[in-house]
Chains A and B, each alone.
Chain A
Amino acid sequence: MATPIFVTAASIAAELHQAMLEAKGLALTAKNARALAVRAGSKTVGFKAITHFIDELASDIIRQSQYINGVSEKLSQHAVSLWRSDTAARKFEWLESQKLPHGDSLYDAMHNCYSEREKLSLMLSRGLRELEAQLEEGDKHIRTANLIATSSKVEASSAGDFRAQLEVIAQNITTTANQIRQHLTNARRLLNQKHS
């Protein structure tokens, strides 16, 4: 059975909510990395520079996840309204086919309902296109995260006594980036599935 679009949109919002929580964890990783880099001094200058990028990336992902979350929630609301207005429109269509003696008195209500359905349908299509574009934008962040993770590993390897701790941080970045990527993949899979 096809999934109702309002369920899909709410599920996408939930995936992005999880991505946002992961990104908050990434921001914390950036703070820990910076504190460690300060303690480690000159051996970790390269790593310290990277922490600024991690921080910035985390803020970008949080901002974008919140935005997509908002778009998805709005979309879910529009889809519910569309479902309700479509249900009403189908009843009106049936009534119209009955050629009732006072059927004309329904004309205004009926046509308001039909135009509302059309308006909502248009809003839904636009919203879905925007969601698709935003998810693609999210992929760019993941590519950046992977670059940062690789650079972090390289910098960690030359950090002397702090190598082990910095390697853990580099691994955290990789793990978090993978988790965020998974949430984006799930969101895209939801968007591409069959809807009713």
Chain B
Amino acid sequence: MQATVIYEDGDHRWIMFGRDPNKSEGIIDTNQYLIQSGDQAILLDPGGIELFAPMLSAVLKFVPTEKITHLFASHQDPDIISSLGLWDQALPNAKLYSPWLWESFIRHFGMERIEFCAIPDEGQTISLGRIQLQFMPAHYLHSPGNFHVYDPKAKILMSGEIGGYIENNEASLYVDNMTSHMQKMRKFHQRWLPSNEAKQDWIRRVRQLDVDIMAPQHGCLFQNQQVSEFLNWLEELPVGIAVR
């Protein structure tokens, strides 16, 4: 599992984990993120059960288990949180923040010790060490109960499936070429996003944020100008195409 620090300011860090060269074939590649501030850390979309061991090894190179105080699952998919039963053994005192809608479903992955903290539909702000993190509503993008994470200090938006594309292990960390990347992302977004209305509402809200890095759960990250280019592209893209 490769780990890359994408933001660092004192003890406030964002680390991206992914591009695991030992991952079994047939398992979708995912990006996991760790945000650390002071004595606390949160794991965003910690990943599937098959990735748990390499993920744990990679994470503990940065923080000990007692400092991983929070987990976040943007939605209920197995590549997001099917590792929960194992994290439940490793981090018995942690809190899991996830959409209220999915609580009784996510518990099927096994959760006896970790505390479930239901995020209300309108979103929520939490404190992590010395920073504030916003759980921003992203319902129907793609899941009916879905949140993204915005860190106003680091100016990073963890955008879940939005901006995602299934890359190979050799893919660069950041998007190299927006034109060719837009082509690659097209079908993924058209098929996986069900609602044009939800998409436009999300774009409107993201445009009000100050974003230096947009970090999706699959594929390459977007930085600076690429973020607004992506929003313009997505705005014009019709989604929910499977029924047409």
Contacts and interface: CB of A to CB of B under 8 A. Distances in A.
Q: Helix, strand, loop or mixed for chain B's interface? A: helix
B56 interface: yes
Interface stretch (B58-66, B100-108, B135-143, B189-197): B58-66
Interface stretch (A2-10, A25-33, A120-128): A2-10
Interface centre among A14, A18, A83, A196 (most CB of B within 10 A): A14
A30 B122 CA distance: 58
A179 to B, nearest CB: 16
A20 to B, nearest CB: 10
A17 interface: yes
B92 A10 contact: no
B152 interface: no
Give the size category of A's interface with B: 20 to 34
A38 B179 CA distance: 55
Nearest to A11: B60
A135 B221 CA distance: 39
Interface in B75-125: 85-86, 89-90, 92
Nearest to A1: B92
B86 A10 contact: no
Interface in A49-78: 72-73, 76-77
B90 A4 contact: yes
A142 to B, nearest CB: 22
A4 B52 CA distance: 13
A79 B54 CA distance: 12
A176 to B, nearest CB: 19
B64 A76 contact: no
A36 interface: no
A11 B53 contact: no
A76 B52 CA distance: 10
Interface string B46-59: 00010011101100
Interface of B: 49, 52-54, 56-57, 60-61, 64-65, 85-86, 89-90, 92
Interface of A: 1, 4, 6-7, 10-11, 13-14, 17-18, 72-73, 76-77, 79-80, 83-84, 87, 196
The 3 A-B pairs at the shortest CB distance, nearest first, are namely A14-B60, A77-B53, A80-B53
Given A6-B89, A11-B65, A14-B61, 15 more contacts: A1-B92, A4-B90, A10-B56, A10-B57, A13-B57, A13-B60, A14-B57, A17-B61, A73-B53, A76-B56, A80-B52, A80-B53, A80-B86, A83-B86, A84-B49
27 contacts: A1-B92, A4-B89, A4-B90, A6-B53, A6-B86, A7-B56, A7-B60, A7-B65, A7-B90, A10-B53, A10-B60, A11-B64, A11-B65, A13-B57, A14-B60, A14-B61, A72-B57, A73-B53, A76-B57, A79-B53, A80-B52, A80-B53, A80-B86, A83-B86, A83-B89, A87-B85, A196-B89
